[in-house]
């Protein structure tokens, strides 16, 4: 086997893995804070891509402004969703809440189709086109930019969780909502903040994903891979999302290169099934003890 080819495939895999990791972190953020499994994360990501298109091509704004506005749009959506759909479901069964997010995903897909039609579209070029070489291996410049951007955002998140007051509040809320309340943490605000941050992140990831592969109303299936990522990592583990993201990125790239593109999903899901048999709560997830 050609070692250089393998290296290039793996580089590309790590590149897209970083975007999985980034979206995975957004997913975990919501789960940790609110115990909501947000299946609409892929659609929120898609909306980020379309918002960028709207601001950049539609309104003719410069790429940077469009990117910022797309992220802000994601945040606003997160705020709105948390307020209007998630908060009324407080205390309902997790299954109901998770179905609400499925419904939300469907609404977003329909809205995007209504606005931009069902056909795939390209985002205006805004990334550098100079080829990137790591050693001898070629890496598509967009993928490299995506990787760096994802890495920076994830690092910022980690710093935020570790060193800021809001990070502590989040951790406390994730541990025990009741206890967090009683020590004076504004739990509803933590909920809101988690949704805003996560949806903004997902929207930003959508711009990166869209810049690399184009956008379409079906790009929400990206969320399916993210789901695999967070399940493999463990729903409540940021580290798990990182490891899982890179792992799935790699596996998909390898499967795509050596078996064919249509093998990607089936390989990752088979991996997922096997893992669930051995470790039902993912690599790093915690599971609760049951008592009678």
Partner 1 sequence: MRIGTLKTSYAADEALFDTALQRGLLVALLVAAVVFPFVASPYWLFLACLCAINVASATGLNLLTGYTGLVSLGQAAFMSVGAYTVAVLEIRLGTPFALNLLIGAGLAAAIGILVGIPSLRVKGLYLAIATIAASVILHFLFSHWTLTGEARGLSMPPARLFGIAIDQPFSLYWLIMPVTMLMVLGAANLLRTRIGRAFIAVRDRDISAEVLGIPLLRTKLTSFAISSFYAGLAGGLWAYFFRVVTPESFPLDNSIFYLAAIIVGGMGTILGGILGAVFMTLVPELLKFGANWLTPIYPDALSALAPVRTIVFGALIVGFLIFEPRGLVEIWVRIRRFFHLWPFRT
- Which residues sit at the interface with partner 1, rule CB under 8 A? 37, 85, 88-89, 92, 94-96, 98-100, 102-111, 113-114, 118, 224, 227-228, 231, 235, 262-263, 265-266, 269-270, 272-273, 276-277, 280-281, 290, 292
Q: Which two tokens stand for residue 211?
A: 């810049």
Tell how far CA 18 is from the center of its chain: 10
Kind and range of the H or E element at 26?
A: helix 3-34
Query: In the complex with partner 1, which residue's Cβ is closer, 3 or 273?
Result: 273
Query: In the complex with partner 1, which residue's Cβ is closer, 1 or 273?
Result: 273
* Residue 288: CB minimum distance to ligand ATP, A: 11
* Residue 280: CB minimum distance to ligand ATP, A: 18
Q: Which two tokens stand for residue 79?
A: 């705020």
Q: If you search the block for the tokens 């951790």, which residue do you land on?
A: 171
Kind and range of the H or E element at 134?
A: strand 132-134
Query: In the complex with ligand ATP, which residue's Cβ is closer, 119 or 290?
Result: 290
Provide the 10 A C-beta neighbour count for residue 275: 16
Told to check if 165 binds ligand ATP by CB under 6 A, we report: no
Strand partners, 138: 133
Q: With CA atoms as reference, report the closest residue to 185 among 176, 173, 197, 199.
A: 173
Q: With CA atoms as reference, report the closest residue to 27 among 177, 195, 146.
A: 195
Binding mask 230-269 for ligand ATP (x = CB under 6 A): ----------------------------------------
Q: Which residues contact 69 (CB under 8 A, 6 or more apart)?
A: 51, 52, 55, 61
Told to check if 288 binds ligand ATP by CB under 6 A, we report: no
Q: Which of the choices ligand ATP, partner 1, none does residue 179 contact, using the CB cut-off of 5 to 8 A by kind?
A: none
* CA gap 206, 16 in Å, rounded: 12
Collapsed DSSP state (helix, strand, coil) of residue 216 = coil
Query: In the complex with partner 1, which residue's Cβ is closer, 85 or 121?
Result: 85
Told to check if 291 binds ligand ATP by CB under 6 A, we report: yes
Query: In the complex with partner 1, which residue's Cβ is closer, 19 or 228?
Result: 228
Q: Which of the choices ligand ATP, partner 1, none does residue 262 contact, using the CB cut-off of 5 to 8 A by kind?
A: partner 1
* CA gap 157, 22 in Å, rounded: 10
Number of residues that make up the chain:
292
Sequential DSSP letters for 123-155: PPP-S----EEETTEEE-HHHHHHHHHHHHHHH
- Given a contact cutoff of 8 angstroms between Cβ atoms, the answer to whether 33 and 191 are in contact is yes
Q: Which of the choices partner 1, ligand ATP, none does residue 53 contact, using the CB cut-off of 5 to 8 A by kind?
A: none
Query: In the complex with partner 1, which residue's Cβ is closer, 223 or 249?
Result: 223
Query: In the complex with partner 1, which residue's Cβ is closer, 59 or 276?
Result: 276
Size of the site for ligand ATP (CB under 6 A): 2
Q: Which of the choices partner 1, ligand ATP, none does residue 68 contact, using the CB cut-off of 5 to 8 A by kind?
A: none
User: Which residues in this chain contact ligand ATP in the complex, by CB under 6 A?
Assistant: 289, 291
């Amino acid at each position: 086997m050609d070692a250089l080819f393998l290296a290039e495939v793996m580089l590309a895999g790590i590149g897209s893995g970083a975007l999985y990791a980034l979206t995975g972190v957004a997913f975990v953020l919501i789960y940790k804070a609110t115990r909501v499994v947000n299946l609409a994360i892929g659609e929120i990501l898609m909306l980020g891509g379309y918002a960028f298109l709207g601001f950049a091509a539609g309104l003719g704004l410069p790429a940077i402004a469009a990117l910022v506005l797309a992220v802000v749009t994601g945040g606003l959506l997160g705020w709105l969703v948390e307020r209007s759909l998630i908060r009324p479901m407080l205390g309902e069964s997790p299954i109901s809440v998770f179905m609400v997010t499925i419904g939300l995903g469907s609404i977003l897909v329909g809205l995007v189709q209504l606005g931009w039609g069902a056909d795939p579209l390209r985002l205006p070029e805004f990334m550098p086109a100079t080829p990137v070489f790591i050693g001898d291996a070629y890496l598509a410049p967009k993928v490299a930019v995506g990787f760096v951007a994802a890495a920076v955002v994830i690092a910022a998140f980690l710093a935020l969780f570790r060193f800021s007051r809001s990070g502590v509040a989040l951790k406390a809320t994730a541990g025990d909502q009741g206890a967090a309340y009683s020590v004076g943490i504004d739990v509803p605000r933590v909920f809101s903040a988690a949704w805003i941050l996560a949806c903004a992140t997902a929207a930003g990831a959508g711009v990166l994903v869209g810049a690399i592969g184009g956008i379409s109303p079906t790009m929400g299936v990206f969320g399916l891979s993210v789901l695999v990522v967070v399940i493999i990592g463990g729903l409540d583990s940021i580290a798990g999302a990182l490891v899982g993201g890179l792992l799935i990125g790699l596996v998909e790239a390898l499967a795509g290169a050596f078996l064919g593109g249509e093998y990607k999903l089936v390989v990752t899901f088979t991996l997922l099934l096997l893992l669930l048999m051995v470790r039902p709560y993912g690599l790093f997830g915690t599971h609760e003890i049951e008592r009678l």
